[in-house]
Structure 1
Amino acid sequence: MENPTTEEENELKEVLTKAELPHFLTVFKSSGVTFELLPKLTHEDLKSIGMNLLVDRINLFKAVTDHEGNVSKGCTPSPLSELESNFLRATHLAYAIIPRAIRIFFDSRHPPINLIKQLDSKEGELKSCKAVYQENYPILFSSDGCTMVKSENFDLTLLMALLRNFTKIKEPVTTWNKMPKQADTSEGADLVRIRFHRNALAHNTNATLSNKEFHDMWNELKDNSGGW
């Protein structure tokens, strides 16, 4: 039987691997972070030891929660093929994690305390924008009954529309409707890539991704949202 130290180290390694962060094992060990400490860590704790990407921190928290749930229930995850697992992981990143990162980016450009005034000042311009729909008005403008604007009430489609037409993110050279060239690392290009990848997942009728497709998409999505 393994001693507790080895057993705990194996659990730490397992969680980091599930979160796609096995390279942090050495950092955690040198910083005195044990498996038992993982559930108690905060975003600030993780940033202090070098885990600077929001996506990485959220993935780690999810892996810890999943691990604890499986242990407490005495169960193991339903068997999935590697290609199905690739698809589910990419979908979680694109639809659960990326919107949070984009919302943080939006809030950094438009602090919540000033947002309602800023939106009201551009009300006419935004209402004439085809990408901002009438059903969005009550959560955007005081004249439509909104008393407190919160970006957490915006879905990703609305956030994207506001970033393009309100924040005035510069349009990529290849336009908003084509996948940008790899060398284009502008904010506008990152938004377009995220939209294209999400659409690709939404229209993937097989619900699978090859290892190459997964790693290409995963790395690009992480790179596109990491700086936000």
Structure 2
Amino acid sequence: MAPLSEEEENYVRLALLLKGVTPRAVRTYFDREFPPTFLPSTLNKNYNTILDLKLKRIINQAQWNLLIPRNGETTPESDLARIKCYRNRLAHHDSNTIETAYFNAAWREISDAVHRLGGQPMYQECQDLKVKILDQSNQEIIFEIKQSLEEMKELRRTIDNLGTEHSKVTGHLRELQDSNRFLHNSHSALDNEHAKVTDNLRELQTSYNTLQAEHSTAVQNLRSLQDSQSTLQNEHSKVTEILKDPVPWNIGGQIKDELEKWKEDDDTYIQTEAAKTILELIKERDLVVVTASSVCGKSSLSKNTKQNVVDFFKNPFTVYKEEIDKLLTEGAHGKYCALALCVMFNNYLKEEWLIEDVHKDIKQIIQNTYEACKVVKGTSRLVIRDELDSLNNTFIRKDGEVYRTIHDKLFDFLAFYFGGVMIHCLINNAVSRFIRERFLFENIWTRDEFTIIVPERYQQIYIKRMVDDWSKGNIVDVFCNINMDSQFFRQKFLLHINGLEILLQKQLASSFDIYSNSSPLIQCCFCRRY
């Protein structure tokens, strides 16, 4: 084995000093300060505190550097720190050689510290060791130290690699933790979504059950409507058959009852010369005997000609017109006004309006009709009630407490008749339902026999009346007016609306029907196909 150089010997000697002599010096000092008998209890007493300071890293590197004693300090604490410092330096020394100057300075400080801690014997060992000749065993030690240094370098590289791997593992761990948090959050979100989907599914099931129930109800209603339609068709057929008879159905029934009474009277009939003469004259001269209540057309039929009877049954409304005209010419203004009021209230004239206190609007309609029919001012409404009763079973019938015409066809005729003689009064005073159904402008081609045609000079009055009905909440009657089927009328009506004040237009647009709570927008969408 090759001899050691001076620097290598310095390294070996210093290592022997620090690892061989100094530990015994430190042990001697500790045995003196902390007797072996009480040492475990002393260490255990402060173990947790020291360990906690270490784990919390309260002592940092800068503070650790302060623990290294300054030159000249010879306290036991400084000597212990000085020995520990040199041991750390040797342990972390990169090569297996030490310069002589550094060796001499370090040896002097360490041996002085051993002297103060361990006494003169150990100091003498330090001096002997400094000049002792290193034998073969010492050379083997230096060889082992070299190997240890190489192994330490390898360990450092391994530690560095492990640190790198540890950093990677730590990064992967953070990624896994982030992924775990993300998955946890995703799982929570999925749980929430699942809960929402479950709730929506329940709502859909509830809605489905509700729709099924409503569908069943709608099917039942449809069946009921179909049954009602069949019933109405049958009733319509019956009414059509009845209307084919020129004699009104209620009068026909009365005639049949009267004929039955005549048949019964035949059993008690006593023939006289006068009766025999009358019957012979009827047969010989082709006479017709007319019997009926007053104001039923007897005068028109009493012409003693067969042709007049035929004309009456072919066109009874001509006879009715003559009778109504005669009421006016003969001064029966009360009866004339009674028929006009039935028209004003659209064939629904309540008896209470003629005998009790009524709303000012109804009272105003009656007063305006008085004036149009030339009824004496101040005439009591009770007089009109009596006139209506006198027309019972001729022009008028009484359903409970409501006066109506004896049948709807007669009302159509009366509406048409008074629409011709007092159209201005009708437009201004008739109920909104009558205004909606009975009037047509001249430009509209679709009309039936008894439709009232509005002359051009009354058209603006008619439109103003519709706006007045609209402002009073009769929106359905305005937008379902039969004139709304005509584009010409709609344009004319819209032109009038655009001419109104903006405030009034807004009020009309935001109003609601007083009966159905419908709005103008809804009526534009559904009532008519505009």
Which structure is higher in RCO with an 8 Å CA cutoff and minimum separation 6? 1
Structure (1/2) with the larger helix percentage: 2
TM-score, with structure 1 as normaliser: 0.42
TM-score normalised by structure 2 residue count: 0.19
Please tell me whether Structure 1 or Structure 2 has the larger radius of gyration of its CA atoms.
2
